[in-house]
Amino acid sequence: MRAATSISAPSVTAQVEPDAALIPKLFPSLAEGELAERYFPGKMWLLDEGPLERIPGIIDAFLRPDLKGLLDLSNHDVIAYANGGNGERPYTRVPKSAAMFVQQQGMSLEVQYLNESVPCVAAWLESLVRELGVPGGKSIFCCAIVSPPGEALPVHFDDIEVISLQLSGRKRWWIAPPDEGGRFPLQNSFDRARRRDAYPLAIPELSGPPTLEMRRGSVVFLPRGFWHRTEALEPSVNLVFVIDTPMAFEVALEALRAKMLERTDWRRTVAGKAREQTRATTAAALEGSLDRLLDELQRAWSSP
């Protein structure tokens, strides 16, 4: 989900209180801190309901919750998703100028990085960063999925957490939990499908009765790794908050790096043969001891 163009777009100035908490408004049935504690460890998905007006500024920010209105708010190209796309290339990037034509071909479109041009969306993301205790920056952003009636997105899983808010229309979801090998993935299923040797994907059919149905004001939280597909019952627009939370190994590596940088020897520069020698020496030193270190870290991580 990366794009950068020089296309200008109008700015929306709907006001949002800077310290207003967003999660209690998105998920009115949850207690404080419950989303992060119960759902973010990749255990389960969550559906909540309520009037769209419960979120301050959203009606003013999206006066026209359709493709034309969203394109006017975006500075970027769009992503088009092909129908029936369980193959290796279910999506492609198209310029904004072609978006309306592509939608007429029955494809769902992703309008990217609305937080860069809609101030209240940027404020909502700041609130999510604060409430969830996750890093900000490019790892958390907001886009919109615009779908004509019919299949919206094909069967896939994401390598990020997703909070999806229904702005208009109705959409059905089919959801299945990840298998053990697919839990907490480092890549989404579309990208992994291109590397079948690294991860032989067994794509579920996800047929039968839908898991849930979203309508105006519905909000879904979906952890990374959960299989899902969607179908729009009528023209549908979802506002999607993308949250790329750090994994435990990344936090552990940060701590290890900070500790190693305290020592002069680990701060020295290496190049040429010295670089290869350093790598070989480090590998030899870790031989036989790395598994013990990992076991110790696992015990420390798992202890209450």
Per-residue pLDDT tens over the stretch 8-28: 334 444 455 555 799 999 999
pLDDT category of residue 127 using cuts at 50, 70 and 90: very high
Residues 152-203: tens digit of each pLDDT: 888 889 999 999 999 999 999 999 999 877 788 888 887 766 665 555 668 8
State yes or no: pLDDT of 139 exceeds 90: no
CA distance 251 to 237: 35
Mean pLDDT of 198-214: 84
Q: What is the pLDDT of residue 44?
A: 93
Domains located in the chain, CATH noted: 23-246 (2.60.120.650), 249-302 (no CATH)
pLDDT for the residue numbered 149: 95
What is the residue type of 163?
I
pLDDT confidence tier of residue 4, bands split at 50, 70 and 90: very low
Q: In angstroms, rounded to a whole number, what is the distance separating the alpha carbons of residues 24 and 33? A: 9
What pTM value is reported for the model?
0.85
pLDDT in tens, 66-89: 999 999 999 999 999 986 555 456
* pLDDT tens per residue, range 217-271: 999 999 999 999 999 999 999 999 999 988 888 888 898 899 889 989 889 888 8
pLDDT at 1 over 70: no
